[in-house]
């Protein structure tokens, strides 16, 4: 899938908060109406996130049963180029626009036209660079496949401003329908093409259909439309001048008038339209660099494995493992992303001075409470899950999924720390940490391969490095909010130990059983009962608070909707 859906989720939380305040003050919307709108947004946002993950899993399993690791490996080789082009095309302007309290039509216009211009230019560059990409991987088929797949970010650039409008105006219901419908349509198309034998071509077309559907739905739901007012005004002036001079008699002295070409008028119009974008560049440039570092980090294996092991099989095996790990991380990380930064920002108010550390620790405990059992639980059932659902041909990816889930358990904590750094106005620090981590990942994988180590060792290195990188984040947290190491360890270690011991018990209790649905069910049952039961007996405060919060939240949402 295209990263647009991820970007959508990533930027929704801050934009909702900003627009909510804006509507109350500027739009004249009543407090009760805004409250009802927010409650409905929470319902649709939660429902959408769950349905998107479920639909992605259903179609993912279906396709994995039809296609081979080689098919996914070929697409993995191209993902980084498409994702980086998408990041460059968007350049952080969508986030900057979504976080503005009252974005103007001119600012939407600037984002719209900037995305289109840069998107088309980048596609032309990648179109002619496709043979070089194919030569780099020693895979001739990647040339035509890349030229097709790269059209995805061109389709996407026509809808970024519309999607930003949906974010900013709390149109969560429409955005949810857009995502779910697009995943369903593209998934059905991909399955049909896979049965027709189009293999990796079907995956490329699936991405195009998904992005095209998202863009079409965004235009349908968003009332905002782009314009070229400067060009229209200049053309009108030119016509008036032409009519004025054309009405003069030949005997009269005609003043010299040199008409401007429509091309020069168009260029002048674009400069006028793009001016608001340049004014936002100071904010968006740091987001751009940070997003690039994230993409390079996330796609390191996709690039290097296809280079190290031509054919795409090894890259496809890793891609399958990473797919499920990312899906689990996205579910939990999205929950943290949507709550952490607004809460941390509110805790910086003068009346709450000194409370940031306490708020952060509570968020940290909740994140660990949810993330560790979910991701370590996925590591526990990885073999049964992979073999039973997607087939024996993917068995090799099961061990990789188990290893990746260990870091996946810590990944939402990284998200939380990152939100803390950004909320304190240190986006540059966040950017530098991301760049350094990216350099270590790429350098380490290349060195390990040169020393003769295989894929499993590379994945272990990746997991260990990223877990160790938490010490870098914690160092920043200590300087920013005074969070001591012993407090952070006290909040993290107990939940990890509880989850790890529970998963170990469930594993050894069922180890003698063959791969089966019964073993899968028993492992889940044992893990859930032991984890919840042990925390309840230990009187874990976060468990009791979470239970109370769920029931209280349900009552509040129902009350808000009724009012």
Q: Confidence class of residue 262 from pLDDT cuts 50, 70 and 90?
A: low
Q: DSSP code of 368? A: H
Q: Return the higher-pLDDT residue of 279 and 223.
A: 223
Q: Return the higher-pLDDT residue of 104 and 148.
A: 148
Q: Confidence class of residue 137 from pLDDT cuts 50, 70 and 90?
A: confident
From 341, 427, 331, 334, select the one nearest 374 (Cα to Cα). Answer: 331
Q: Confidence class of residue 93 from pLDDT cuts 50, 70 and 90?
A: low
Checking if the pLDDT of 429 tops 70, the result is yes
Q: DSSP code of 214? A: H
Tens digit of each residue's pLDDT (9 = 90 or more) over 396-406 = 999 999 999 99
Q: DSSP code of 27? A: I
Start-end of H helices in 196-312 = 200-221, 229-246, 262-298, 300-308
Residue whose token pair is 């009108």: 236
Tens digit of each residue's pLDDT (9 = 90 or more) over 197-237 = 888 898 889 889 998 998 999 899 888 888 765 555 555 55
Q: Quick check: 383 and 515 in contact, CB under 8 A? A: yes
* C-alpha count within 13 angstroms, C-beta hemisphere, residue 374: 21
Q: Return the higher-pLDDT residue of 172 and 490.
A: 490
Q: Rounded to an integer, what distance in angstroms lies between the CA atom of residue 236 and that of residue 177? A: 41
Start-end of H helices in 67-199 = 69-90, 93-98, 105-137, 142-149, 151-157, 160-168, 172-195
Checking if the pLDDT of 505 tops 90, the result is yes
Q: Which three-class secondary structure string do you get for 301-332?
A: HHHHHHHHCCCCHHHHHHHHHHHHHHHHHHHH
Tens digit of each residue's pLDDT (9 = 90 or more) over 69-83 = 888 888 888 888 877
Tens digit of each residue's pLDDT (9 = 90 or more) over 518-551 = 999 999 999 999 998 888 888 777 777 666 666 6
Among 95-104, 119-128, 258-267, 444-453, where is mean pLDDT lowest?
A: 258-267
Q: Rounded to an integer, what distance in angstroms lies between the CA atom of residue 125 and that of residue 535? A: 56
Q: Which pLDDT score, from 0 to 100, does residue 253 have?
A: 47
Tens digit of each residue's pLDDT (9 = 90 or more) over 306-320 = 888 887 888 889 988
Q: Which pLDDT score, from 0 to 100, does residue 14 have?
A: 33
Q: Which two tokens stand for residue 536?
A: 């309840």
Q: In sequence order, which residues have a C-beta less than 8 Å from that of residue 142 and are 6 or more positions away? A: 74, 77, 78, 130, 133, 134
Average pLDDT value for the chain: 77
Q: Which pLDDT score, from 0 to 100, does residue 156 have?
A: 85
Residue whose token pair is 């620090």: 429
Regarding pTM above 0.75, the answer is no
Q: Which pLDDT score, from 0 to 100, does residue 270 have?
A: 64
Q: Rounded to an integer, what distance in angstroms lies between the CA atom of residue 88 and that of residue 223? A: 26
Task: Work out the angle between the directed axes of helices 172-195 and 200-221 (0-180°, nearest 10).
Answer: 160
Q: Rounded to an integer, what distance in angstroms lies between the CA atom of residue 136 and that of residue 28? A: 57
Among 18-22, 249-253, 259-263, where is mean pLDDT lowest?
A: 18-22
Q: In sequence order, which residues have a C-beta less than 8 Å from that of residue 453 and are 6 or more positions away? A: none
* C-alpha count within 13 angstroms, C-beta hemisphere, residue 402: 16
Domain ranges in the chain are: 1-239+267-311, 318-563
Q: DSSP code of 67? A: S
Q: Taking residues 324-337, report their average pLDDT.
A: 76
Q: Confidence class of residue 132 from pLDDT cuts 50, 70 and 90?
A: very high
Checking if the pLDDT of 28 tops 50, the result is no
Q: Quick check: 321 and 336 in contact, CB under 8 A? A: no
Q: Confidence class of residue 335 from pLDDT cuts 50, 70 and 90?
A: low
Distance of CA 440 to the CA centre of its chain: 22
Q: Rounded to an integer, what distance in angstroms lies between the CA atom of residue 396 and that of residue 242? A: 73
Q: Which pLDDT score, from 0 to 100, does residue 39 have?
A: 46
- Portion of the chain with pLDDT greater than 90, in percent: 20
Q: Which pLDDT score, from 0 to 100, does residue 24 have?
A: 36
Cα torsion 101, 106, 111, 112 to 10°: value is 130
Start-end of H helices in 391-516 = 396-423, 427-450, 455-468, 470-481, 485-510
- Distance in Å from the first CA to the final CA of the chain: 39
Q: Taking residues 332-338, report their average pLDDT.
A: 63
Q: What is the DSSP string of 175-190?
A: HHHHHHHHHHHHHHHH
Checking if the pLDDT of 553 tops 50, the result is yes
Q: Quick check: 194 and 66 in contact, CB under 8 A? A: yes
Residue whose token pair is 């010299």: 256
Q: Return the higher-pLDDT residue of 563 and 70.
A: 70
Checking if the pLDDT of 476 tops 60, the result is yes
Among 1-10, 238-247, 321-330, 520-529, where is mean pLDDT lowest?
A: 1-10
């Amino acid at each position: 899938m295209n990263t647009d859906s991820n970007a959508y989720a990533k930027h929704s939380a801050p934009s909702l908060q900003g627009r909510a305040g804006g509507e109350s003050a500027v739009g004249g919307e009543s407090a009760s109406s805004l409250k009802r709108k927010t409650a409905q947004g929470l319902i649709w946002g939660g429902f959408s996130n769950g349905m998107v993950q479920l639909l992605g899993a259903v179609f993912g399993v279906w396709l994995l049963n039809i296609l081979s690791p080689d098919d996914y490996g070929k697409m993995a080789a191209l993902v980084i180029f498409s994702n980086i082009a998408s990041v460059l095309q968007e350049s952080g302007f969508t986030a900057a626009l979504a976080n503005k309290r009252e974005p103007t039509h001119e600012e939407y216009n600037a984002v719209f036209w900037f995305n289109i211009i840069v998107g088309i230019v980048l596609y032309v560059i990648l179109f002619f660079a496709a043979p070089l990409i194919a030569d780099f991987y020693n895979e001739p088929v990647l040339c035509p496949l890349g030229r097709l797949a790269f059209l995805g970010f061109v389709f996407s650039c026509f809808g970024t401003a519309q999607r930003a409008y949906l974010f900013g105006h709390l149109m969560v219901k429409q955005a949810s329908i857009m995502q779910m419908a697009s995943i369903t349509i593209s998934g059905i198309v991909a399955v049909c093409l896979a049965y027709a034998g189009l293999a990796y071509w079907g995956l490329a077309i699936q991405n195009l259909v998904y992005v095209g559907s998202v863009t079409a739905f965004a235009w349908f739901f968003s009332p905002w439309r782009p314009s070229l007012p400067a060009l229209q005004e200049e053309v009108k002036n030119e016509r008036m001048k032409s009519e004025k001079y054309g009405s003069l008699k030949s005997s009269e002295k005609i003043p010299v008038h040199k008409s401007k070409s429509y091309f020069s008028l168009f260029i002048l119009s674009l400069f006028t339209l793009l001016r608001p974008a340049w004014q936002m560049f100071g904010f968006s440039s740091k987001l751009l660099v940070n997003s690039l570092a994230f993409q390079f980090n996330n796609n390191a294996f996709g690039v290097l494995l296809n280079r190290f092991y031509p054919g795409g099989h090894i890259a496809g095996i890793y891609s399958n493992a990473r797919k499920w790990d990312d899906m689990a991380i996205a579910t939990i990380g999205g929950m943290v992303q949507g709550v952490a930064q607004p809460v941390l920002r509110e805790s910086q108010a003068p009346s709450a001075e000194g409370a940031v550390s306490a708020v952060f620790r509570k968020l940290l405990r909740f994140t660990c409470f949810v993330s560790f059992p979910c991701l370590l639980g996925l590591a526990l059932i990885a073999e049964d899950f992979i073999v039973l659902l997607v087939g024996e041909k993917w068995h090799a990816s099961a061990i990789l999924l188990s290893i990746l889930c260990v870091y996946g358990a810590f990944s939402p904590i990284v998200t939380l720390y990152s939100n803390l750094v950004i909320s304190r106005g240190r986006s540059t620090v966040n950017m530098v940490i991301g760049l350094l981590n990216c350099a270590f990942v790429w350098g380490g994988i290349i060195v390990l391969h040169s020393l003769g180590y295989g894929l499993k060792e590379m994945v272990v290195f990746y997991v260990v490095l990223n877990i160790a990188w938490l010490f870098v984040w914690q160092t920043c947290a200590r300087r920013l909010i005074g969070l001591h190491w012993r407090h952070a360890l006290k909040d993290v270690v107990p939940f990890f130990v509880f989850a790890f011991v529970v998963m170990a018990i469930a594993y050894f209790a069922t180890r003698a059983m063959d791969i089966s649905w019964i073993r899968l069910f028993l492992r889940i049952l044992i893990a859930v009962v032991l984890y919840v039961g042990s925390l309840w007996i230990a009187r874990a405060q976060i468990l009791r608070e979470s239970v109370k919060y769920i029931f209280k939240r349900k009552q509040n949402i129902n009350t808000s909707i009724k009012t």
